[in-house]
Chains A and B, each alone.
Chain A
Amino acid sequence: MKISATLGLAIALVACRQDMHDQPKYKPLAESNFFADGRASRPIPENTVARDEPIVNDTYHTGNANGDFTARIPVTVDMALLRRGEERFDIFCSPCHGRLGDGNGMVAQRGFRIPQNLNSDRIRQAPPGYIFQVISNGYGGMPDHADQIPVRDRWAIVAYLRALELSRSARISDVPLEAQSQLEAQR
């Protein structure tokens, strides 16, 4: 009798330690019974701007220059930016466009609208500002990715896409001599 009472008490003690576990504070995306929509993470009220994302109508934020798509990427293009762009392209674009941009991604293979080849002449000739806007606002059957990809990363992707397009039509003679022998060896 006593033993089972002790055991019961022990189990009860084990079970009721929740007071400090669930404190009256909100963690991200937690449920709230204070706000009518039940969200602790508040949506941005109308006509307000997040402090770290000001609405600026410059080329960097819009991809526009002088009323047209910008023909220049408004950030410094270096190797670090291209590598960042490659990584982000593989995360955000390759599911549909494939890692080579040829439209052969896994999601397209499962029945999503098959995107055009990003190495086509038309896309090659499209100005960087246009690609930037496709990422930010979407295009036809392609959803926008503005919420998922910060502005700087979008430009990194644009820069990488240019490198990818170059590489897809490059000939071995386009590569510096010392790299040529390396490539030949890998064949």
Chain B
Amino acid sequence: MPQFFPRTSTTIARLTLLGGALALAAVACAGYLIVESPYETRQDVPREQPVPFSHEHHAGGLGIDCRYCHTTVETSSFANIPATKVCMNCHQQMWAVAPDIEPIRESYRNGRSVLWTRVHDLPDFVYFDHSVHIHKGVGCSTCHGRVDRMPLTWQAESLRMKWCLDCHRDPAKYVRPRDQVFNMAYTPPRNQEEVGQRLMSEYHIVRRTSCSTCHR
């Protein structure tokens, strides 16, 4: 009786096993790439807004300080999104009939909120606090990029846990003098490592990596 399986079938079987393993690995890799891709983290994608508010115009061009609108960023966990009234401080008189700003005027008239679309949105099981970062010398641009060059706002970093931890393990790589926190054009000096170490002790910065720092 001739052999049922030809000799080559052993090789085929082996290859199939190997191929299966590879396929699984590929799926895992693909999954990881998808999770970490800018598509999934929604990084670098400008969000549509009810009013085409431009930081490039207001913060960059006109040089309005972030705190004129984000009034609580130094004192609270939440940076605050400005009330309609703040826009009307200027737009009562300027561009007062521009159709772009109609939703703002309408909100001012009827007292309903403008429905801004969130750009950054950490999962609800993560605790984040602006005030501590501002106070310890982490600049807006370190986490938000060059907001003053954004015609529509987008998220400049992944906001993944490993991104937070990269800094929390060694903040010396990123911290700057407190009076530079709002400077969008700040570039780290050549001796950042040295400056960072000095600021770490001056501002009593602690390396916070315990899970309960952010998951509480």
Contact = CB atoms under 8 A, between A and B. Distances in A.
B34 interface: yes
B185 interface: no
Contacts of B65: 90-91
A147 B78 contact: no
A113 B91 CA distance: 12
Contact of A38 (B28, B89, B113): B113
A112 to B, nearest CB: 6
B56 to A, nearest CB: 14
B64 A37 contact: no
Contacts, number: 81
B157 to A, nearest CB: 18
Contact of A14 (B23, B35, B80, B85): B35
A110 interface: yes
Contacts of B64: 95, 106-107
B161 interface: no
B45 interface: no
| Contact count band on B | 35 or more
Given A95-B64, A106-B62, A148-B68, A10 B27 contact: yes
| Contact count band on A | 20 to 34
Interface string A1-36: 001001100110110000011110101110100000
A9 B124 CA distance: 25
A170 B140 CA distance: 37
B98 interface: no
Nearest to A9: B27
Contacts of B125: 20-21, 23
Nearest to A95: B64
Contacts of B83: 147
Contact of B31 (A14, A21, A29, A145): A14
A25 B124 contact: yes
B67 A91 contact: yes
Interface of A: 3, 6-7, 10-11, 13-14, 20-23, 25, 27-29, 31, 37-39, 90-92, 95, 106-107, 110-113, 141, 143, 145, 147-148
Given A6-B27, A91-B65, A110-B62, 10 more contacts: A10-B28, A20-B123, A21-B123, A23-B124, A28-B80, A38-B112, A95-B68, A106-B64, A112-B93, A148-B68
8 contacts: A11-B34, A25-B124, A31-B115, A38-B113, A110-B62, A141-B93, A143-B90, A147-B86
Name the 9 nearest CB pairs between A and B, nearest first: A21-B123, A23-B124, A143-B89, A91-B65, A28-B78, A106-B62, A10-B31, A91-B67, A10-B27
Interface of B: 23-24, 27-28, 30-31, 34-35, 40, 61-65, 67-68, 71, 78, 80-81, 83, 85-86, 88-90, 92-94, 112-113, 115, 123-125
